[in-house]
Amino acid sequence: MDAHARMISFLNNTACGDLLYFLTKGKSRTLASTKTGGPTVDQYLVIDTESGEAVVERLGEDDPENPYNWSFGYKAYVSILLFIMTMSVYMGSSIVSPGIPDLAQQFGVSETVAILAMSLFVWAYGIGPCFLSPITEISWIGRNGPYIIGLGLYTIIQIPNGLVNNLPGYLILRFISGFLGSPVLATGGATVGDIWRMDGGFMNGLAFWGMGGVGGPTIGPLVSGFAVEKLGWRWSIWPLLCANGLVWIVLFFTLPETSGTAILARRARMLRKETGNPNISSKGEINDQKVSMLALLYETICRPVYMTFTEPVLLCVNLYIAYMYGIMYCFFEAFPLALEGRHGFNAGEMGVSYISGYIGCGITMLVYCYYNVKVVIPRIRSGHWRPEYRMEPAFIGGILFPVSMFLFGWTSFSAVHWIVPLIGFAIFVGSAFLLFQGLASYLGENFPRYLASVYASNGLFRAILEGAFPLFSTQMFNRLTLQGGCSLLGGLAVLLFPITVVFYLYGPKLRSMSKTAGMGIAEEPDSKDMV
**Does a structural domain hold residue 10?**
no
d(CA 432, CA 91) in angstroms, rounded, equals 17
- Contact call for residues 33 and 63 (beta carbons, < 8 A): yes
Residue-by-residue DSSP string for 50-75: TT--EEE----TT-TT-GGGS-HHHH
Burial profile 187-212: b = 16 or more Cβ within 10 angstroms, e = fewer: bbbbbbbbbbebebbbbbbbbbbbbb
- CATH (domain of 440): 1.20.1250.20
**Does a structural domain hold residue 249?**
yes
On whether both 242 and 319 belong to a single domain, the answer is no
> How many domains in the chain?
2
**Does a structural domain hold residue 17?**
no
Is 531 in a helix, a strand, or coil? coil
Domain boundary (250, 268, 291) is at: 291
Domain boundary (243, 273, 291) is at: 291
On whether both 180 and 231 belong to a single domain, the answer is yes
**Does a structural domain hold residue 58?**
no
On whether both 312 and 188 belong to a single domain, the answer is no
* Count of other CB atoms within 10 angstroms of residue 214: 30
**Does a structural domain hold residue 278?**
yes
On whether both 433 and 285 belong to a single domain, the answer is no
On whether both 236 and 326 belong to a single domain, the answer is no
pLDDT of the residue at 35: 46
Structural domain of residue 488, as residue ranges? 293-521
- DSSP type of residue 524: P
**Does a structural domain hold residue 37?**
no
On whether both 132 and 278 belong to a single domain, the answer is yes
pLDDT of the residue at 500: 95
> Is the four-CA dihedral 469, 333, 214, 93 of positive or negative sign?
positive
Domain boundary (291, 312, 343) is at: 291
pTM, entire model: 0.85
Is 100 in a helix, a strand, or coil? helix
Q: What element of type H or E holds 282?
A: strand 280-282
Helix, strand, coil: what percent of the chain each, to 5?
Answer: 80, 0, 20
On whether both 275 and 308 belong to a single domain, the answer is no
In the sheet with 280-282, reading across from the earlier edge strand, the strands are: 45-47, 54-56, 280-282
pLDDT of the residue at 528: 38
pLDDT of the residue at 269: 82
- How far is Cα of residue 300 from the mean position of the Cα atoms in its chain? 17
On whether both 267 and 359 belong to a single domain, the answer is no
d(CA 362, CA 182) in angstroms, rounded, equals 23
Q: What is the pLDDT along the chain (531 residues), one digit of tens a residue?
A: 455 555 665 666 788 877 777 777 666 666 544 444 444 555 566 655 565 567 776 655 667 778 888 889 989 999 999 999 999 888 888 888 888 888 999 999 988 899 999 999 999 988 888 777 777 777 788 888 889 999 999 999 999 998 999 999 999 999 999 999 888 887 888 888 889 887 778 889 989 998 988 888 888 888 887 888 888 888 888 888 888 899 999 999 889 988 888 888 888 888 787 777 777 787 777 777 777 767 766 766 788 888 888 899 999 999 999 999 999 989 888 888 888 878 888 878 888 888 999 999 999 999 999 999 999 989 888 888 888 999 999 999 999 999 999 999 999 888 899 999 999 999 999 999 999 999 988 988 888 878 777 888 888 888 899 889 998 998 899 899 999 999 999 999 999 999 999 999 999 899 888 888 775 554 444 433 333
On whether both 323 and 277 belong to a single domain, the answer is no
Is 197 in a helix, a strand, or coil? coil
Is 456 in a helix, a strand, or coil? helix
Nearest to 304 by CA among 424, 447, 452: 452
d(CA 348, CA 223) in angstroms, rounded, equals 9
On whether both 287 and 297 belong to a single domain, the answer is no
**Does a structural domain hold residue 136?**
yes
On whether both 337 and 212 belong to a single domain, the answer is no
**Does a structural domain hold residue 87?**
yes
On whether both 357 and 224 belong to a single domain, the answer is no
